[in-house]
């Protein structure tokens, strides 16, 4: 279920009626769910993960790996679906990732940790994504 561009909410109030309070906090206020609490941390089901806010396909289960960090982790995104933004909150230089279409917060991306050959970890809140099993 993917929204057409002209159906995308434009204001916080429009988002609030579409999302649960937790989804709104993470997706629209760049919140973070507590580690190990998300529904997809250990999920191995094959499929495609969509943006919880607008339905855009973001990550394939083929790129999901066990990072043991407490959040779902992917070593690649579907090309063009995730945008990266410099984030200097909490006194750290990190790279925030957002849905390229609806600008909702997904999590952060890290490089150089050596988890997989791609050496990239998209650390994503479960509440930001929705798995459509294959
Ligand atoms: Zn989206």
pLDDT, tens digit only, all 134 positions of the chain = 577 778 899 999 999 999 999 999 999 999 999 999 999 999 999 999 999 999 999 999 999 999 999 999 999 999 999 999 999 988 889 999 999 999 999 999 999 999 999 999 999 999 999 999 99
pTM over 0.75: yes
Instruction: Give the pLDDT score at 1.
Output: 56
Of the candidates 18, 16, 14, 38, which has an alpha carbon nearest to the alpha carbon of residue 106? 38
Rounded distance between C-alpha atoms, residue 120 and residue 123, angstroms:
9
Calculate how far, in angstroms, residue 106's C-alpha sits from the geometric centre of ligand 1.
9
Instruction: Give the pLDDT score at 73.
Output: 98
Calculate how far, in angstroms, residue 58's C-alpha sits from the geometric centre of ligand 1.
8
Calculate how far, in angstroms, residue 68's C-alpha sits from the geometric centre of ligand 1.
26
Catalytic residue ranges:
123
Instruction: Give the pLDDT score at 80.
Output: 98
Phi-psi region of 73 (alpha: psi -120 to 50; beta: other; left: phi over 0): beta
C-alpha 119 chain-centroid distance: 18
């Amino acid at each position: 279920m993917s929204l057409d561009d002209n159906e995308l909410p434009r204001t916080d109030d429009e988002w609030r009626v579409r999302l649960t309070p937790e989804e709104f906090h993470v997706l629209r206020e760049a919140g973070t769910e507590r580690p190990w609490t998300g529904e997809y941390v250990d999920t191995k089901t094959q499929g495609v993960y969509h943006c919880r806010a607008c339905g855009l396909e973001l990550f394939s289960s083929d790129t999901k790996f066990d990072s043991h960090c407490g959040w779902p982790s992917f070593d690649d995104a579907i090309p063009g679906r995730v945008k990266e933004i410099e984030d200097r909150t909490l006194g750290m230089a990190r790279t925030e990732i957002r849905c390229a279409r609806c600008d909702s917060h997904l999590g952060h991306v890290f490089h150089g940790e050596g988890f997989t050959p791609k050496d990239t970890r998209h650390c994503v809140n479960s509440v930001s994504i929705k798995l459509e099993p294959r």
